[in-house]
Amino acid sequence: MDWQEQANATEARLRGQLLAALEGDARAYRTFLSALGAHLRAYFRKRLFDLPDDVEDLVQETLLSIHTHRHTYRTELPLTAWVHTIARYRLVDLLRARSRREALHDPLDDGAAFFASADLDALEARRDLGTLTAHLPARQREALYRVKVDGASMAEAATAMGMTETAVKVTVHRGLKALMARARSSE
């Protein structure tokens, strides 16, 4: 039996059990919920492979939703489409709830301490950079800051400094070369 035949047989069996349950057969309903639970576990495990602890909760929530809304099932439609829709909504609800919880416990919520240290680090880095480039000629220092620190393109730096792009490239290269020489001599 190929997968399509197997899926059709499962659909027919589960649909028959639910229809019998809707007519009052309690045993058919227990069988239906048990069989459907196994299918839902497989469905959720496949989608939540990195969240295995949530699978069983999701199966139970989905079965409860199906139980609560069983009167809305339209018997002329395939059961699997109806079940899949409910299961998908439960999955989306879980993922939304998890994302909200994780956002509440975001490490960036440390607020003041996080930003204070980042501001101090940036200030210290800027001070150190100023110390390192203090010995450079003003043109080299300005070209280095514009291109390497501020992220301007060579064309943007050339326009701002009133130079050609080639002149800015040469100036930046010479500034970097001077910084490297100074770093080597201090070792």
Task: Write the CATH number of the domain with boundaries 3-104.
Answer: 1.10.1740.10
Q: What is the dihedral of CA 163, 166, 169, 173, to 10 degrees?
A: -110
**145 burial via Cβ count (<10 Å: 0-12, 13-18, 19+):** middle
The residues of the chain that CATH labels 1.10.1740.10 are: 3-104
Contact 91, 58 (CB under 8 A): yes
Confidence of residue 49 (pLDDT cuts 50, 70, 90): confident
Contact 63, 78 (CB under 8 A): no
Cα distance between residue 6 and residue 4, in whole Å: 5
Q: What is the dihedral of CA 60, 65, 67, 71, to 10 degrees?
A: -170
The more confidently predicted of residues 185 and 89 is: 89
Q: What is the pLDDT of residue 116?
A: 43
Q: Look at residue 108 and tell me whether its pLDDT is greater than 90.
A: no
**What pLDDT, in 10s, does the model give residues 31-42?**
999 999 999 999
The residues of the chain that CATH labels 1.10.10.10 are: 112-185
Cα distance between residue 32 and residue 49, in whole Å: 25
Q: Look at residue 160 and tell me whether its pLDDT is greater than 60.
A: yes
Task: Write the CATH number of the domain with boundaries 112-185.
Answer: 1.10.10.10
Q: What is the pLDDT of residue 16?
A: 93
Cα distance between residue 180 and residue 61, in whole Å: 64
pTM beyond cutoff 0.85: no
